[in-house]
């Protein structure tokens, strides 16, 4: 935990004079007053980064700024909306470095030399909007971020882990069996389609010069035969009438 050179003001368990707190509040109010802001120039908006982005109950959270100005003179962290905010920590570097703890401090907040705020052992009560105001001799920066606290992920008991592992094995086995079944079904359907194709009948038209004992007939595969069929009348399914042609059917025997 970073500690300024001077002793801390307002630390729980330490005796703090009302004069010290009054001085800290007076300096902060004077530095962040509208009149003094005009003297510093335009107010710059800065990005406040929450790490981790979505903390769970019991984790430590850090609020840091993306942009950094040199020569920080004062900074203050607060919680809540602008109209109802509660101050948490006030850092005064001049005239004497010191940290003052305000109403929003409960012992879990910590500040470093870059004015980054850490909250230890976060809970659902810490879920809120947080803001920072800080300045150098010429610039003032203002930023805010919302901390959203999530439920922690419960730890699985050994028995639950074993049950989960067994369930995964069952699911994988079921997927493999299903894949094998689908593959077998596709193979069966493909084989049936192939057999159906083999059972088709081919029709050929040959001239009258075709002889039964020709090289074509002799070279036919085993199981294939030719049947001589008379040509049908013109326009029928059997084909057009032909005087010099024969229709031969080639089919699997």
Rounded to 5°, the CA angle 86-89-90 comes to 110
The answer to pTM > 0.85 is: no
- The CATH H-level superfamily of 18-147 is Immunoglobulins (2.60.40.10)
Strand-pair category, 224-229 with 98-101 = unpaired
Would you list the DSSP string of 149-161? -BPPPPPPPHHHH
pLDDT of residue 179: 80
Task: Give the model confidence (pLDDT) of 75-125 as tens digits.
Answer: 899 999 877 889 999 988 777 788 899 999 999 999 987 889 999 999 999
pLDDT of residue 238: 47
**Residues in a beta bridge with 76:** 90, 133
Cβ proximity of 90 and 104 under 8 Å: no
Domain ranges of the chain: 18-147, 155-200, 202-252
- Backbone φ and ψ of 27, nearest 5°: -65, -45
For residue 26, the surrounding DSSP H or E stretch is helix 18-31
> Hey, how many other C-beta atoms are within 10 angstroms of the C-beta on 149?
19
pLDDT of residue 87: 93
pLDDT of residue 173: 75
Task: Give the model confidence (pLDDT) of 152-162 as tens digits.
Answer: 887 766 665 56
- Backbone φ and ψ of 107, nearest 5°: 100, -10
Segments of the chain scoring below 50 in pLDDT: 5-23, 32, 34-39, 196-211, 223, 235-253
The strands making up 128-135's β-sheet, listed across from edge to edge, are: 43-45, 140-147, 128-135, 74-79, 86-92, 98-101
Q: How far apart are CA 208 and CA 80, in angstroms?
A: 105
**216-247 burial code (b ≥16 CB/10 A, e <16):** eeeeeeeeeebeeeebeeeeeeebeeeeebbb
């Amino acid at each position: 935990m970073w500690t300024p050179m001077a002793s801390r003001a307002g630390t729980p368990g330490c005796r703090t004079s009302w004069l010290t707190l009054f001085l800290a509040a007076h300096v902060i109010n004077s530095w962040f007053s509208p009149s003094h802001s005009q003297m510093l120039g335009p107010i710059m908006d800065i990005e406040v980064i929450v790490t981790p982005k979505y903390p769970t109950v019991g984790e430590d959270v850090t609020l840091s700024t993306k942009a950094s100005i040199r020569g920080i003179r004062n900074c203050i962290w607060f919680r809540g909306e602008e109209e109802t905010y509660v101050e948490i920590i006030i850092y005064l570097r001049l005239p004497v470095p010191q940290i003052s703890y305000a109403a929003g401090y409960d012992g879990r907040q910590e500040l470093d030399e870059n004015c980054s705020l850490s909250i230890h052992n976060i809970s659902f009560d810490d879920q809120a909007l947080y803001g920072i105001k800080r300045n150098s001799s010429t610039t003032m920066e203002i930023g805010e971020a919302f901390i959203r606290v999530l439920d922690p992920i419960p730890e699985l008991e050994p028995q639950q882990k074993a049950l989960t592992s067994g369930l995964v094995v069952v699911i994988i086995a079921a997927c493999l069996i299903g894949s094998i079944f689908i593959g077998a079904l596709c193979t069966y359907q493909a084989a049936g389609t192939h057999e159906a194709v083999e059972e088709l009948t081919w029709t050929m038209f040959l001239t009258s010069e075709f002889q039964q004992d020709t090289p074509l007939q002799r070279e036919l595969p085993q199981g294939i035969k030719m049947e001589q069929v008379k040509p049908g009348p013109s326009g029928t399914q059997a084909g057009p009438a032909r005087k010099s042609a024969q229709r031969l059917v080639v089919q699997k025997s």
